[in-house]
Amino acid sequence: MIEDYKNFLKEILIDRVELQERIAELGAEISRDYAGKELLMVSILRGGVFFTVDLMKSVDIPHKVEFMAISSYGAGVRESTGDVRITFDLQTNIRGKHVLLVEDIIDSGHTLSSVIERLSAQHPASLEVCTLLDKASRREVEVPIKYCGFDIEDKFVFGYGLDIDDYFRGLPFIGVVDLEKYVPEE
């Protein structure tokens, strides 16, 4: 049984208010940029769904949403394995549509680079990336990020969609794990 997150929470990196203020700013920017265009947001599950829902509330132009599930992390793993698998694919044809990929965090870039390559082959009118968190110091593959909520340092973060062994996604803030106190599940 995993323990209470408070036992290994080192700090709250981004609190609820700061998250919502920045998401509102991103929503306003996206609304301006896509005015008059048919916008399709593609949320990367599972972590991206929390950010996507709040972002959708802040985008005041008509838009649709789709979902993709990608797997590149194993249980208890803090880094992508590099083996990117699509576990749930789009149900919509994106040819000729303005697609905005919505992701919770971009780390090495391998996962999103694979998704971009796959979706580009379907000939959308445009394909842009919106991420809540960018951990650029860990980037191994360049990813073109148009909208970024927060640039963060190389820290093990959780909450607001980000998980630890599939727990704690529902926390209303982004916290940092104290690696001296956290012991991964076996």
Residue 107 is a catalytic residue: yes
Separation of alpha carbons 186 and 180, rounded Å = 17
CA dihedral 126, 148, 171, 63 (to 10 degrees): -30
Buried b (16+ CB within 10 A) or exposed e, 60-83: eeebebbbbebebbeeeeeebeee
Single out the catalytic residue among 107, 134, 154, 165. Answer: 107
| 21: its two tokens | 């203020």
Catalytic residues, by residue number, are 107
